[in-house]
Amino acid sequence: MRPVRTIKLVARQTGLSVHTIRVWEKRYGAVRPVRATNNRRLYSDEDIERLKLLRQATLAGHSIGQIARATLPELRRLLRDDLSTRNTGPGATARQERGVADDLIAAAIRATERLDLADLRDLLDRAAVELGQPAMLHKFVAPFAMEIGERWRKGDLNVAHEHFATSTLTVFLAGFARPYPTGSSAHHFVIATPSGQLHELGAIIAAAAVQSHGWRATYLGSSLPIEELVGAATQLKARAIGLSIVFPPDDALLTQDLLKLPKLLPPDCAVIVGGRSVRTYADTLKQIGAIQVNSLEDLYPVLDSLQQTKRASTKRAK
């Protein structure tokens, strides 16, 4: 059968991110798609089967560099051998994936301590390849960012280390989210850290997660006055605004700013708040009707619910 599937469709069918498929293709020669007349990559059924098998093998701990050129029979035999020697009960794949992520996080911390840019970039690429999306975001990037923040607070890392990790992740995530184009009808999400909140890595990660989930995301930076955030959200007709609250956890001025939101925001714009210190503002968030999220896994169903609510209200208006 001639190749007919686009890279976006292949990503959905294999569980791999578009970024990972491109890395596996360009760096390792795992698949060789053909080019259509419009220069778009097209993949065959065999390509899809290869990518599925390669994903299973990498989650089992095999290096993509060592197995990328293996034939389909060789990959099937490799996986059969793994099944006979590994724990294959419920949750085995999840545990293997968690082990891969933990090893990558530990290596990324060491690269940050050395300020080794080339090594950290390579580890980010490896995480995207071996974990896929969105697992790469919530099993590697988010825990890595939290560990960097914790070590900075304890004094094990200094400001230079924290800025090094933040800038490297920011550049990587900008490219990581780019392969997920959104149409003009996609909902808009505007995110920032509020005044006094200088740690922006969590907000950057959330913006990438939102973008990869099919929304348009606009990140406005750190320590942004609430009035400026509301102004941007109103101008962009945002379906939701996001705030990341990390440190300090007990800012009375921030509480006052949060209480302003119901009066300033359009009624159909939701407020989503996350970050390490979000629980300390739980009472205030409940008072203003904000949605508290404690992890990226919590964020995705909230986005889905907002999309469905918007569709329902649009149908009623018609």
Q: What is the pLDDT of residue 312?
A: 55
Reported as a pLDDT band with limits 50, 70 and 90, residue 316 is: very low
What local confidence, expressed as pLDDT, does residue 182 receive? 56
The SS3 of residue 117 is helix
Query: Nearest CA to 212 among 251, 256, 250, 178?
Result: 178
Distance CA 148, CA 142 (A): 10
Phi, psi of 150, deg, nearest 5: -65, -40
What single letter denotes the amino acid at residue 18? V
Q: Which of 222, 228, 186 is nearest to 204 (CA)?
A: 222
Q: 103 or 260, which is more confident?
A: 260
- The token duo for 186 is 């996609």
Sheet hosting strand 291-292, strand order edge to edge = 216-219, 188-192, 240-244, 270-274, 291-292
Q: Under a CB-based contact definition with an 8 Å cutoff, are residues 213 and 300 in contact?
A: yes
**Which pLDDT does position 249 carry in this prediction?**
83
pTM: 0.67
Helices (H), the chain: 7-14, 18-28, 45-59, 64-67, 72-85, 92-114, 117-131, 135, 142-154, 159-177, 201-212, 226-235, 252-264, 282-287, 296-317
Strand partners, 191: 219, 242
Both tokens assigned to 234: 């109103």
Mean pLDDT of the chain: 85
What domains does the chain contain, in order, with CATH numbers? 7-85 (1.10.1660.10), 92-176 (1.10.1240.10), 184-317 (3.40.50.280)
Query: Cα(142)–Cα(165) distance, rounded to whole angstroms?
Result: 12
- The pLDDT assigned to 91 comes to 52
Q: How confident is the model at residue 90 (pLDDT cuts 50, 70, 90)?
A: very low
Question: Hey, what are 97's tokens?
Answer: 């994936």
Give per-residue pLDDT as tens, 143-158: 999 899 889 888 999 9
Question: HSE of 6 in the Cβ direction (CA atoms, 13 Å)?
Answer: 8
Q: What is the pLDDT of residues 104-114, one digit of tens each?
A: 999 999 999 99
Please name which of 218, 215, 221 lies closest in space to residue 194, comparing C-alpha atoms.
221
Give the separation between CA 151 and CA 78, rounded to whole angstroms: 40
Give the sign of the dihedral formed by CA 160, CA 294, CA 17, CA 49: positive
